[in-house]
Amino acid sequence: MLRRALPARPEARRILLGTLLSAVGRGLTLPFLFIYLTDVRGLTDIQAGLVIGWFGAVTLALSPLGGTLIDRFGARRVVLPCLAVEAVGTGSLALVDSLGTAFAVSTLIAIGGSALWAGQTTILASLTGDGERQRVFGLQFALLNLGIGVGGLISGAVVDIARPVTFQAIYLLDALSYLTPGLILLTMPHVGHRLAKAPEAGAGRSNGGYLAVLRDRPFRRLVLFGLVLTTCGYAQIEVGFAAYSVRVVEVTPRVVAWALAANTVMIVLSQLLVIRRMEGRSRTRALAAVGAVFAAAWLVLGAAGLVGTANAVVAALGVVACSAIFGFGETMLSPVMPALTNALATDELRGRYNAMSSMIFGISGIIGPVTAGPLMGAAHGRLWVAVVVGGCLIASALALSLHRLLTPTQDGRPTHTPTRTPTPDPHPAAV
């Protein structure tokens, strides 16, 4: 299955290797930023939250500009400097000693990361054909999670709040990991250039920019689906899921850590099987299934809340099962969403399409945590469960409504040309 999922072009395989290696570095630091800023650098919880929120806001604000630059100058000229800025910013976290420096470093990291996802997705899409993109994007997601999981295991065994140098070391290693995909890209000078020819002098720009993207009715429906799904799905993991598990189900933070580990294991073990089973099947129906799977995960968590302390083992298993089921849904979403985005995109606007797709997670990342708090305090968390389950099912309905707006090729369905059997001549010519 791995051999089948690998892209045909060696350049795309090297890009995926860079994804894996940089993900290991990301995993070293991903779970610890809040703890580092508060317990090691002395910021208050509110100050650390503002720093992290500022990072998300700056990234979201700059993402549209990143898409425009990718289309105008080529992904290569955007991704390489962004990786360098991201590396400098991540390494500078080791030197943070005040609220001001934390905001400055957060801004630098946000500038570097604002166009990375759109740029790297555009490069990978340019190196793969329509028939293999879905498999390749699924493999990319599995490698990303594998790398983050490995990095998290390493840093979990190394970091120590009493020894700030351990945190400084992992941030420096993370910075070095960001240089890896850049070095790989530098070894392929023909990769990542502008996909569409520049308009001739005096011809003007006719691609329409983001207005043309927004006029694309199927893509608008896909973006709406993504906003609803991620707001009621991904955006609830850090706040809603953790808060409900600890406060309502009353499990320990260690159980939450086990649940997140189960999520990673599910993705890594099942991704290749899922993308194989999805070949030749409707992408919109797969997206609808993702909404149903996410809803099922939240229902399992809600059931664990009803059990609570009456049976601590069953409640803990419910929390872990919720995260694992959610991970299975991710294995269907991760290959389909970017593949469908790039099936709708044109070469002239591919950077903008991918930038808007990445903005979905930024917008939902703001809406989700803000709404989760008030909902969590109502009716002992049951209102929160009802809202996220309902939102996931609404997303499924939006995905199904997208089905009729796509061609069979865009939807990933096989197109069969009927073969006509010749009718025998009732009056054969005489020999």
pLDDT tens per residue across span 363-376: 888 888 778 777 87
Per-residue pLDDT, averaged over 407-428, amounts to 64
Question: Is residue 345 pLDDT above 70, yes or no?
Answer: yes
Question: Residues 397, 286: contact at Cβ < 8 Å?
Answer: no
Question: Is residue 270 pLDDT above 80, yes or no?
Answer: yes
Domain at 213-412: CATH code: 1.20.1250.20
> How do the domains of the chain map onto residue ranges?
9-188, 213-412
- Residue 200 — pLDDT band, cuts 50, 70, 90? low
Q: Comparing 253-262, 333-342, 404-413, which segment has the lowest mean pLDDT?
A: 253-262
Per-residue pLDDT, averaged over 77-103, amounts to 94
Task: Kindly state the percentage of the chain with pLDDT values over 70.
Answer: 92
Kindly report the CATH class assigned to 9-188.
mainly alpha
pLDDT of residue 124: 94
Please tell me the distance from the alpha carbon of residue 177 to that of residue 365, in angstroms, as a whole number: 25
pLDDT of residue 65: 95
Per-residue pLDDT, averaged over 118-139, amounts to 92
Q: Smallest Cα–Cα separation from 357: which of 218, 190, 240, 168?
A: 218
pLDDT of residue 12: 95
Three-state SS for 404? helix
Residue with tokens 């009802």: 386
User: 308-332 burial, b if ≥16 CB within 10 A, otherwise e?
Assistant: beeeeeebbbbbbbbbbbbbbbbbb
Q: Comparing 202-211, 388-397, 416-425, which segment has the lowest mean pLDDT?
A: 416-425
Question: Is residue 404 pLDDT above 50, yes or no?
Answer: yes
Q: Smallest Cα–Cα separation from 179: which of 114, 119, 105, 89?
A: 89
The DSSP 8-state label assigned to residue 98 in this structure reads S
pLDDT of residue 415: 66
pLDDT of residue 431: 34
pLDDT of residue 49: 81
Question: Is residue 203 pLDDT above 70, yes or no?
Answer: no
Q: Comparing 44-58, 133-147, 302-316, 386-400, which segment has the lowest mean pLDDT?
A: 44-58
DSSP letters of 190-243?
Answer: TSS--SSPPPPTTT---S-HHHHHHH-HHHHHHHHHHHHHHHHTGGGIIIIIHH
**Would you tell me the crossing angle of helices 283-307 and 217-232 to the nearest 10 degrees?**
20
The DSSP 8-state label assigned to residue 246 in this structure reads I
Per-residue pLDDT, averaged over 211-234, amounts to 95
Residue type, 10: P
pLDDT of residue 237: 82
Residue 99, number of CB atoms within 10 A of its CB:
17
Higher model confidence: residue 144 or residue 423?
Answer: 144
Task: Kindly state the percentage of the chain with pLDDT values over 90.
Answer: 62
Q: Is 188 left (phi over 0), alpha (psi -120 to 50) or beta?
A: beta
Q: Comparing 285-289, 372-376, 419-423, which segment has the lowest mean pLDDT?
A: 419-423
pLDDT of residue 46: 85
Question: Residues 254, 386: contact at Cβ < 8 Å?
Answer: no
pLDDT of residue 410: 93
**Distance (Å) of CA 211 to CA 95, 214, 353:** 42, 5, 11
Please tell me the distance from the alpha carbon of residue 52 to that of residue 43, in angstroms, as a whole number: 12
Residue with tokens 């390493």: 154
DSSP letters of 118-154?
Answer: HHHHHHHHHTS-HHHHHHHHHHHHHHHHHHHHHHHHH
Q: Smallest Cα–Cα separation from 255: which of 303, 293, 294, 304?
A: 304
Mean pLDDT rounded to a whole number for the chain = 88
Question: Is residue 419 pLDDT above 50, yes or no?
Answer: no
- Residue 430 — pLDDT band, cuts 50, 70, 90? very low
Q: Smallest Cα–Cα separation from 349: which of 226, 218, 196, 231?
A: 196
pLDDT of residue 198: 59
